[in-house]
Amino acid sequence: MLELRNVSFAVNDTEEKEIVRNLSLTVESGKFVVITGPNGGGKSTLAKLIAGIEKPTEGQIFLDGEDITGLSVTERAKLGIGYAFQQPVKFKGIRVFDLLKIASGQAISVNEACVYLSEVGLCAKDYIEREVNASLSGGELKRIEIATVLARKTKLSVFDEPEAGIDLWSFQNLVRIFEKLQKETQDSSILVISHQERILEIADEIIVLSGGTVEQMGTRDEILPKILGTEAAASSCARLSDRRD
């Protein structure tokens, strides 16, 4: 179980700006929680605060009752927090297989690594030896990013806009991945940042974040009808037409 207690995060550019304000929320074990809300509402910052990439200026974060506020990214990863970047990182010389091996934390075989690639819809033999660099497309990098989180088998997996850059066919695949991930790891929780109606539809709980704090929070049936058609829950077509404007 993940718990955030009165968490704030401020940055100091020319003047102090609070990106997350006095935010409290709980992600119960075994739950699939989707965080949505307008752009600039603090969603990605919240994901980074959970992974330890940013440290809160105030408040505390607990994982299974343990205060992890002061722990590093590595320590949190070892305690069981997985984090899929919104913008996947590119390397020089590190292969897809290397990354999956590091993620799984053990000397896995090529065959085992291939299973994770197949799950994200990539033909394993074409990718396993490829370098994780700019020769891969944005969509391919994104799927490999998701595969690295699958390989970790963590108790809490955080995905920051996993659907960004992925086409509609694999979008369906993505929904299936989340369902499978939950089934396979007992009591594991998934926290996804997304505006996508189709991801919101499979959530147990939905949190609407706006202005750096929780605007609404509740079960899918409570929240989804209230936000449908707004920026917080756009259908794929609506989002595409937004982009054309």
| Chain contacts with another protein (rule: CB under 8 A) | 51, 53, 72-74, 77-78, 81-83, 85, 89, 91-95, 98-99, 102-103, 105, 131, 148, 152
Asked whether the CA dihedral 196, 202, 208, 213 is positive or negative, the reply is negative
Nearest to 47 by CA among 153, 146, 159, 155: 159
DSSP-derived 3-state class of residue 220:
helix
Q: How far is the CB of 88 from another protein (least distance, A)?
A: 8
DSSP string, 74-95: HHHHHHTEEEE-SSPPP-SS-B
Report the residue number, 4 or 151, with the smaller CB distance to another protein.
151
CA 105 to mean position of chain CA atoms: 20
Q: Own/partner pairs for 137-144, CB < 8 Å, 24+ apart?
A: 138/165, 139/165, 139/166, 139/167, 139/170, 141/88, 141/90, 141/165, 142/88, 142/166, 143/170, 144/88, 144/96, 144/99, 144/117, 144/120
Q: How far is the CB of 93 from another protein (least distance, A)?
A: 3
Q: How far is the CB of 164 from another protein (least distance, A)?
A: 17
Report the residue number, 141 or 232, with the smaller CB distance to another protein.
141
Rounded Cα–Cα distance for residues 51 and 46 (Å): 9
Report the residue number, 89 or 110, with the smaller CB distance to another protein.
89
Q: How far is the CB of 180 from another protein (least distance, A)?
A: 20
Q: How far is the CB of 214 from another protein (least distance, A)?
A: 25
Report the residue number, 32 or 85, with the smaller CB distance to another protein.
85
Q: Looking at residue 231, what DSSP letter applies?
A: T
Report the residue number, 92 or 243, with the smaller CB distance to another protein.
92
Report the residue number, 21 or 95, with the smaller CB distance to another protein.
95
Q: How far is the CB of 182 from another protein (least distance, A)?
A: 20
Give the tokens for residue 154. Answer: 């963590």
Half-sphere exposure of 146 (CA within 13 A, CB side): 31
Q: How far is the CB of 9 from another protein (least distance, A)?
A: 17
Rounded Cα–Cα distance for residues 234 and 193 (Å): 13
Report the residue number, 157 or 196, with the smaller CB distance to another protein.
157
